[in-house]
């Protein structure tokens, strides 16, 4: 009897680890998909893809000016930036994930200038939304 319950415990533990791995892999994939969507948005200039990723209020920092604003204001400012700085290239430099948050750093080059985009996603009810969006000029 003892051997069987230990075996059942091992099987149950195996199922728990499998489910946990699947949940973590799905969350990581969602983040990767979001980061790729940000790059597509910047490359095409069509910012509509960002709107569903933004929280209703977020911290926006663009070229040294920071403000806490609503989604509509952020969309307008980002649209202005992309319109004035069409992307020649956009590369994912790094992204990472923690329990309830994730982030990405994207390198953008446009007309001889280099920019770094940083986005912080935090879990809001059932999905991760961008709560910080930052673009800095890093031209050397």
Establish if 22 belongs to a structural domain: no
What is the Cα 92 distance to its own chain's centre?
11
Does 37 map to a domain? yes
Question: Does residue 4 belong to any structural domain of this protein?
Answer: no
Does the pLDDT at position 69 exceed 90? yes
Report pLDDT for 40. 81
Burial of 28 (0-12, 13-18, 19+ CB in 10 A): middle
Q: What is the DSSP secondary structure assignment for residue 29, as one 8-state letter? A: H
| pLDDT given for residue 26 in this prediction | 41
Per-residue pLDDT band at 5 (split at 50, 70, 90): low
Q: Which CATH number do you get for residue 55? A: 3.10.450.50
Q: How many domains does the chain have?
A: 1
Q: What is the mean pLDDT of residues 73-97?
A: 87
Maximal CA-CA distance, the chain: 73
Residue 50 lies in a domain: yes
Domain that holds residue 59: 30-137
Higher pLDDT: 20 or 72? It is 72
Q: Which residue has the higher pLDDT, 116 or 14?
A: 116
């Amino acid at each position: 009897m003892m051997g069987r319950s230990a075996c059942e415990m091992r099987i149950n533990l195996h199922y728990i680890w499998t489910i946990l791995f699947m949940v973590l892999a799905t969350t990581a994939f969602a983040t990767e998909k979001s980061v790729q969507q940000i790059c597509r948005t910047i490359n095409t200039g069509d910012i509509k893809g960002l709107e569903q990723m933004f929280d209703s209020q977020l911290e926006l920092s663009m070229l040294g000016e920071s403000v806490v604003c609503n989604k509509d204001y952020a969309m307008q400012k980002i649209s202005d930036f992309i319109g004035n700085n069409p992307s020649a290239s956009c590369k994912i430099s790094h992204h990472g994930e923690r329990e309830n948050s994730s982030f990405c750093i994207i390198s953008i080059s446009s007309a001889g200038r280099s920019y770094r985009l940083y986005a912080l996603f935090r879990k809001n009810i059932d999905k991760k939304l961008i709560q910080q969006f930052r673009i800095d000029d890093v031209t050397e």
